[in-house]
Amino acid sequence: MADLPRILIVDDSRVVRMSIVRHLKGAYEVREEGDGEAAWQSLVLDHSIRAVISDIQMPKLNGYELLERVRTSKLRRLQQLPFILVSGEETEDERAKASALGVSDFVTKGAGSAEILTRLNSLLALSNAQESLDAGRDQMVQDPVSGLFTRKFLELQAAQALSHSARHGVDASVMVFGFDGFAGLCERLGTQVAEGVAMRFAKMLAGKMRQEDSLGHFGAGQFAVVSPGTAVALCATFAERVREAVELARLSIQGHTVSVTVSIGLASVPVDQVSAAGVLLELAGMRMHEAMRQGGNRTESGGVLPASRPISINHALELLAGNRPEPVKPHLAVLGRQLLPLLALMNQELGLTLPMAEIERCLSERSS
């Protein structure tokens, strides 16, 4: 028994605890507690506990409160500990509250002990993989020069995103960004300078990502982002914003102004029916290369259109300054309405004769 993983079962009902223990016997060593406070003391003192299965309604400290203590603990081993909440009657509010507190999985008592065992096995397999990854983190996770994640680590992150997608029915997306003509850029500027330009882009990209996204190297002058829980249409919107920002930027390098563009490939599940993380990354990379073959400076998402999103007046002005009016035209009605108070003030203060009523009518017609 000493070699078996130890699981903490927390429930004020001895009958329920016995039912769960019966299914775990032989695969796990079990420790039992009848209330949340006693469970918390066990977790702090017993370093061998590998996961928690807890009821919600308990005396002294309920399941939510125990979960919150675990996730906000200063002990790293508790922050990442697999934690399953078992509810007598699942509701959307309960599931949302548990998710917000950082629960690993959420099941109802009606699902049975066999279902809990299946969920537990999956969570511990994932936890073991993460521990193996952490053990070699310095060697394999980050590029020693750039500090960005390595491609191998991105594959592991993508695998985790796919697993989460399959369990919870959410999307998982990958974006691959590549500089158009990067080899030529290396020849003109030198490899070191060109890579410096690429790293400036990577830092800009890192500043616009969510905390749960992972950014790393994909190839020379190429970067990949693994974005769990994000639909490909939203990634396409983000990718287009990044592509436009790079196109409009003017870099000063060695006394010369340099213009660069990027091509972007997107792939996502369940839209793209792939089951392996490596295949998902490769598909996004293939689409990036296809965008480059089509002339570059474009996004290839397998036919998925970007989610519609308004642009700011500042962004519209940047596009117009770059002689790119087409992306602005679909937003003229909204932008025009935002500018109406300014036009009215100019009309009054400068003694102009702008047809304000006609402008407002045209904007209304364009909106409809």
The identity of residue 282, as a single letter, is E
Q: Which segments of the chain belong to CATH 3.40.50.2300?
A: 6-135
What is the per-residue pLDDT across 311-321, written as a single tens digit (0 to 9) for each? 788 878 887 88
Strand spans (E) along the chain: 6-10, 29-33, 49-55, 83-87, 105-108, 172-179, 214-219, 222-228, 251-253, 256-258, 262-269, 299-300
Q: How far apart are CA 80 and CA 69, in angstroms?
A: 12
pLDDT above 80 for 138: no
pLDDT of amino acid 191: 87
CA dihedral for 149, 150, 156, 157, sign (positive or negative): positive
Which band of pLDDT confidence, cut at 50, 70 and 90, is reported for residue 306? low
CATH topology of domain 6-135: Rossmann fold (3.40.50)
Q: Which segments of the chain belong to CATH 3.30.70.270?
A: 140-300
pLDDT of amino acid 113: 65
Strand spans (E) along 88-212: 105-108, 172-179
What is the per-residue pLDDT across 42-51, written as a single tens digit (0 to 9) for each? 998 888 899 9
How many of the other CB atoms lie within 10 Å of CB of 8?
21
Q: How do 251-253 and 83-87 pair as beta strands?
A: unpaired
Residues 108 and 116: beta-carbon distance below 8 Å: no
Specify the CATH number of the domain 140-300. Answer: 3.30.70.270
Least confident of 17-26, 170-179, 246-255: 246-255
**pTM of the predicted protein model:** 0.52
What is the per-residue pLDDT across 335-352, written as a single tens digit (0 to 9) for each? 999 999 999 999 999 999
pLDDT above 60 for 137: no
Q: How far apart are CA 96 and CA 12, in angstroms?
A: 23
Q: Mean per-residue pLDDT for 58-67?
A: 90
